């Protein structure tokens, strides 16, 4: 039985494994039809291979492309290590920086608001008798309700040494 084209093509490409390779060679040693067919296939392959683009064309284009790449890629990325590092970290860095600025500025605004005395505090409750202690309603005694003598007596009982100086002050007169 003669060899088919697929086997011959595989043999031609050097991809036919043993023991088939030896069998093909043996067959072709006595079968001129297969030998001729093999020659034709080989010629076709050689003809196709011969139409390859020339080395000189390749070299010209190779130089052109390399020049372009040197101008765009290499010059751009010369300090590649540092740049790469920076590029990877940049979004994270920008986020942290933005967050920091946000918190910093926010806290200043907040603190200012807390301490700014010109801004009146919010009064939520209406003013009525429940949250207003009238000065003359004697429910809670303040220091004004005690006489000087009572205060001194109270301090003396608690063991304080009281040094009292009385200074004469001219009465304030209104014109």
Partner 1 sequence: MELRSSDEAAFRQVYDQVFPVIMKVAFHVTYNLDVSEDICQDAFIRFFDKNMVFETMDDAKFWLIRVTKNLAINQIKRKARETASIEKLKQVTPTSSYKDGASQLLFQESTESVRKAVAQLSEKYKTVIVLKEYAGLDYKQISKILNISESNVKVRVHRARKELEVLLGREDA
Question: What's the helix, strand, coil split of the chain in %, to 5?
Answer: 60, 0, 40
Residue nearer to partner 1 on the CB measure, 71 or 95? 71
Coil, strand or helix: which one is 126?
coil
Q: How far apart are CA 38 and CA 7, in angstroms?
A: 10
DSSP, res 38: H
Among 2, 20, 22, 61, binds partner 1 (CB under 8 A): 61
Among 1, 15, 82, 134, binds partner 1 (CB under 8 A): 15
Best CA proximity match to 40, nearest among 5, 3, 1, 13: 5
CB of 104 to partner 1, least distance (A): 36
Residue nearer to partner 1 on the CB measure, 50 or 172? 50
51 forms part of the interface with partner 1 (CB under 8 A): yes
Query: How many CB atoms are located within 10 Å of the residue 12 CB?
Result: 16
Coil, strand or helix: which one is 29?
helix
82 forms part of the interface with partner 1 (CB under 8 A): no
103 forms part of the interface with partner 1 (CB under 8 A): no
Site residue total, partner 1 (CB under 8 A) = 36
**Interface with partner 1 by CB under 8 A: which residues?**
5-6, 9-10, 13-15, 40-41, 44-45, 47-58, 61-62, 64-66, 68-69, 72-74, 77, 80, 84
């Amino acid at each position: 039985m003669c060899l088919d084209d697929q086997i011959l093509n595989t043999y031609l490409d050097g991809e036919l494994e043993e023991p088939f390779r030896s069998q093909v060679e043996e067959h072709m040693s006595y079968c001129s039809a297969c030998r001729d067919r093999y020659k034709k296939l080989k010629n076709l392959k050689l003809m196709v291979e011969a139409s390859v683009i020339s080395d000189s064309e390749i070299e010209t284009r190779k130089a052109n492309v390399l020049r372009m790449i040197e101008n765009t890629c290499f010059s751009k990325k010369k300090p590649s290590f540092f740049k790469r590092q920076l590029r990877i970290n940049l979004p994270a860095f920008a986020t942290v920086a933005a967050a920091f600025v946000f918190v910093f500025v926010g806290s200043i605004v907040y603190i200012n608001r807390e301490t700014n005395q010109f801004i009146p505090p919010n009064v939520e409750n209406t003013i009525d008798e429940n949250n207003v202690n009238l000065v003359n309603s004697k429910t809670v005694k303040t220091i004004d309700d005690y006489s000087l003598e009572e205060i001194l007596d109270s301090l003396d009982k608690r063991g304080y040494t009281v040094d009292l100086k009385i200074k004469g002050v001219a009465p304030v007169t209104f014109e």
